[in-house]
Amino acid sequence: MNVFVLTGAGISAESGLGTFRDPGGLWRRFDPMRLATPEAFAEAPEEVHAFYNLRRQGVRAAVPNAAHAALARLEAGLTARGGRLFLCTQNVDDLHERAGARAVIHMHGELMRARCTACGAGRPWADDLAVDTACPACGRRGGMRPDVVWFGEVPLHLDAIAEALDDSDLFVAIGTSGAVYPAAGFVARARAAGIPTHEINLAPSDTAGLFMKATYGPATQAVPDFVD
């Protein structure tokens, strides 16, 4: 059996990482257009670095929760039976990996990586970034950025995602508001292909009406219940 799981910030909420659109969420406190676009980085790189350095510290302090662990178990179980879990996350944290997931597709990039806009070199990065951070590959300063996908930038791995989605026997969305595209459009693509769809969330998402089944509750309870 091939299962496609899309996760969002809600799966990391109980690990202490903020979501984006819940009360007190990141995009409720900060303007994404001033912090999560290429234009914002060009205009105020230090402000953008400060925002992502703070979030990187939060990710380092966070620990994976029971929902991340349940998905790692699901991946191992499906693989052992000749099936597959395609774990696609909108999240830029590394909690799926730290919970033991082996193949995680980060369609919005990874906070624990940095990339040089001058030479394109990317690498794991756990430290703070600043405008004068020199690129370890080309040495230039002023070009190192968080290796995440900002608004207006093309998400990563879209071809592999589309292929896996079309080839899945079940589509599950976990902890996402269904507010950001193209990820929010995946459920419609699954339905059009006749693939069963299931939403696991704290509350109905913006695309709740497109799911055939739904389980509402905290991910640390709902996801293990679904998996085990």
Q: Which residues bind ligand BV8 (CB under 6 A)?
A: 8-10, 13-14, 19-22, 25, 36, 90-92, 108, 148-155, 158, 175-177, 179-182, 201-203, 205, 218-219
CB of residue 88 vs ligand BV8: minimum separation in angstroms?
A: 11
The residue (of 45 and 175) whose beta carbon lies closer to ligand BV8 is 175
What is the separation of C-alpha 114 from the centre of its chain, rounded to a whole number of angstroms?
16
Which residue pairs from 49-54 have beta carbons closer than 8 angstroms and sit at least 24 positions apart in sequence? 49/128, 49/129, 49/130, 49/131, 49/146, 52/111, 52/129, 52/146, 52/148, 53/128, 53/129
For ligand BV8, the closer of residues 44 and 83 by Cβ is 44
Of 83 and 98, CB closest to ligand BV8: 98
Query: What angle is formed at CA 183 by the lines to CA 121 and CA 155, rounded to 5 degrees?
Result: 20
Q: Find out whether 143 is annotated in a ligand binding site.
A: no
Within a 10 A sphere around the Cβ of 209, how many other Cβ atoms?
Answer: 11
Is residue 219 a known part of a binding site? yes
Report in angstroms how near the CB of residue 37 gets to ligand BV8 at its nearest.
Answer: 8
Q: Please confirm, yes or no, whether 96 is among the known catalytic residues.
A: no
Annotated active-site positions, please?
Answer: 108
